[in-house]
Amino acid sequence: MLVDIGFWVLAVLAVASAVLVFVVDSMARATYALAVSFVAVGFALVLLQQNYVGVVTVLMMLMEMAVMAVYMVMYMGMNPALMPMSMVHGKRAALAVSGAAFVVLGAGALLVDWPVRRGVPAPDVTAALGEALMGRQMLVMVVISPVMVATIVGGVVLAAHRTRYDRFGDDLRRRPARDPQRGGVGR
Amino acid sequence: MTLETVLLVAAALFAVGLYGAISQQVVVMVMMGLEVMVNAVILAAGAMWWFLAPDPTGQVLLLVVLAAMTVEMAMGFAVATLVHRHRNSDMTDSATDLAR
């Protein structure tokens, strides 16, 4: 009973704050609303006995929202909390598409004849997850690791203002390097 | 709390995120829409895990979804930085073509 009440409180909180993200008129408030939505979903996962994944979701998303706030200040060039704005296009079409998506997904959730539960959860779910990650499922983490490294490299390459190709040319042979300001010894 | 109710909530979250991803003009807000959609996927996957097959493998899938979300954020911000640097704008409407 308590779990049911907790779930519904979290569910309403998650959906309402997700709606608020696109309703409030400042980006800072939108970021806070998104953070609340993520925290609600994280605690809902804890109610579903996934303590580790739930807590990781909460911690990760709070940090991500902090990063997002920094980006907003960077790009908007203003205090986002003080600048009301609404920047949308194709609002009616977007509402129609998202409404249709909800109807289709909701119908699927309610009409599909879901199978009965197979197996029972481990006594300590988090320990079982840890053992799976260090054992049978290690390949998954081994695959994710290079993807993460590629993301770091790709992110830096995309976001970098000037790279070695700007300095040394496409064949990396130009000497001296083309720098905005000459400087350094021997250039 | 049943599988159907959790999936309904996830469907609502997904629809809200889809609205944001389609309608917003600022790149960061579009990414927020995508985040809400992935949030819905996490909730739905968590419910599927608990109500259908509570095996550790399902939780590993959830971790993969979380990793995908991180990658999306990192690359999204990198592309937003690139667009902002070249076009001095953070709006999607100013980034509809690939040419400089």
Distance CA A117, CA A149 (A): 37
Establish if B99 belongs to a structural domain. no
For residue B29, the enclosing domain spans: 3-88
Under an 8 A CB cutoff, do A50 and B36 touch? no
CA-only gyration radius of chain B, Å: 17
Sign of CA dihedral A63, A69, A75, A77: negative
pLDDT of A82 over the 60 cut: no
Q: Can you state the angle between helices B3-23 and A91-111, rounded to 10 degrees?
A: 160
Q: Which of B33, B56, B77 sits opposite A122 (nearest CB)?
A: B56
The angle formed by the CA atoms of residues A16, B31 and A6, to the nearest 5 degrees, is 30
Question: Could you identify the residue written with the tokens 């909460």?
Answer: A58
Establish if B71 belongs to a structural domain. yes
Cβ distance B66 to A41 under 8 Å? no
Confidence band, pLDDT 50/70/90 cuts, at residue A65:
confident
The mean predicted confidence, pLDDT, of chain A is 85
Distance CA A72, CA A68 (A): 6
CA-only gyration radius of chain A, Å: 24
- The Cα of B94 is separated from the nearest Cα of chain A by a number of Å equal to 13
What average pLDDT score do residues A29-35 get?
87
Residues of A in contact with B53 (CB under 8 A): 117-119
Establish if B40 belongs to a structural domain. yes
Q: Which of B5, B52, B80 sits opposite A118 (nearest CB)?
A: B52
Residue A155 identity: G
pLDDT of A26 over the 60 cut: yes
Residue contacts between A and B (CB atoms, under 8 Å): 233
Distance CA B6, CA A1 (A): 15
Q: What is the pLDDT of residues A98-139, one digit of tens each?
A: 999 999 999 999 999 888 888 888 888 889 889 988 988 899
Establish if B93 belongs to a structural domain. no
Residues of B in contact with A21 (CB under 8 A): 16, 20, 32-33, 36
| Nearest to A107, CA basis, from B8, B66, B51 | B8
Residue B26, SS3?
Answer: strand
Residue B74, domain CATH = 1.10.287.3510
Query: What pTM was computed for the model?
Result: 0.85
- The Cα of A187 is separated from the nearest Cα of chain B by a number of Å equal to 28
Q: Which ipTM score applies to this complex?
A: 0.88
- The Cα of B65 is separated from the nearest Cα of chain A by a number of Å equal to 11
Number of domains in chain B: 1
Cβ distance B4 to A11 under 8 Å? no
Confidence band, pLDDT 50/70/90 cuts, at residue B40:
very high
Distance CA A14, CA B47 (A): 15
Contacts of A63 (CB under 8 A, 6+ apart): none
- The Cα of A78 is separated from the nearest Cα of chain B by a number of Å equal to 13
Confidence band, pLDDT 50/70/90 cuts, at residue A186:
low
Confidence band, pLDDT 50/70/90 cuts, at residue A149:
very high
Under an 8 A CB cutoff, do B59 and A72 touch? no
Confidence band, pLDDT 50/70/90 cuts, at residue A177:
confident
Distance CA A122, CA A178 (A): 61
Q: Which of A18, A133, A152 sits opposite B17 (nearest CB)?
A: A18
Question: Could you identify the residue written with the tokens 């083309």?
Answer: A178
Confidence band, pLDDT 50/70/90 cuts, at residue A150:
very high
Residue B26 pairs in a beta bridge with B91
Cβ distance B25 to B93 under 8 Å? yes
